[in-house]
Amino acid sequence: MKRVTGGALLLLQALASPVDAGAANLSSLLSALDLGGYARGERPPDFAGLTTHGAALTLAELHGKVVLLTFWATWCPPCGPELKVLESLHRELGAQDLAIVAVNASESMPVVREHSRAQGLTFPILVDPRGDIHRAYGVLGLPTTFVIGRDGHAVARAIGARDWAAARSRELLRALLREEPARPRAPAGAPRP
């Protein structure tokens, strides 16, 4: 029997699990946007990668922000226009704790750096040369985008391009941004306050 990785398991759970009943508005927004939801409290795998500027970035560092984590490639036709929309969202909502992070699919750092510069992208672009982050998240097609709440829980995922500039998309993001920022989780075994 083939072993299921954490990210692949997260993707499979999203396909099988509805958002909990207490989040009816969120559930209706996810449905209207054709986004797959997760059970409340489901957590995406952490990742560590290098940006095109050579800085290290992990998901744990983004705790307390709403994260749009998108997987893309320079050769992917729908990825380019979607990245431009995400750049607009980054400029509009970044100061309100929206973090846009793009993970490139196995291309070289110089190719990704030049493409990002030419597109005018200012949010963090991670290069995943061996596909480790892609595998951890169970990404099968591009673009694929994961929405992660302030408390680090998985909210939704989109396989294929979405209109992130649409009113419903902004409504979803604003609803998530209104949530209280969560305190960072204590390491396992650490005393609780």
Q: What is the pLDDT of residues 115-141, one digit of tens each?
A: 999 999 999 999 999 999 999 999 999
Sheet architecture: strand order including 98-105: 36-37, 154-159, 144-148, 66-72, 98-105, 125-128, 48-51, 56-58
Q: What is the pLDDT of residue 183?
A: 64
Phi, psi (rounded to 5 degrees) for 28: -70, -35
For 81-120, write each residue's pLDDT tens digit.
999 999 999 999 999 999 999 999 889 999 999 999 999 9
Q: Over range 14-43, report the average pLDDT.
A: 70
**Higher-confidence residue: 139 or 4?**
139
Q: Which tokens go with 78?
A: 């729908």
SS3 label, residue 27: helix
Q: What is the pLDDT of residue 39?
A: 83
**How far is Cα 51 from Cα 4, in angstroms, rounded to an integer?**
28
> What single-letter amino acid sits at 167?
A
What residue segments make up the domains of the chain, in order of their start? 6-178
Of the candidate ranges 11-15, 65-69, 174-178, the one whose mean pLDDT is the lowest:
11-15
* Mean pLDDT score across all residues of the chain: 86
> Does the pLDDT of residue 174 top 50, yes or no?
yes
Which of 3.60.21.10, 1.10.1520.10, 3.30.70.100, 3.40.30.10 would CATH assign to domain 6-178? 3.40.30.10
**Higher-confidence residue: 53 or 22?**
53
- CA-closest candidate to residue 118, choices 141, 95, 91, 87: 87
Q: Over range 47-75, report the average pLDDT.
A: 97
Of the candidate ranges 36-45, 55-64, 145-154, 183-192, the one whose mean pLDDT is the lowest:
183-192
Q: Over range 167-188, report the average pLDDT.
A: 81
Q: What is the pLDDT of residue 136?
A: 96
Q: Quote the pTM value.
A: 0.82
Of the candidate ranges 17-26, 154-163, 166-175, the one whose mean pLDDT is the lowest:
17-26
**How far is Cα 43 from Cα 46, in angstroms, rounded to an integer?**
9
Backbone region of residue 73 per phi and psi (left: phi > 0; alpha: psi in -120 to 50; beta: other values): beta
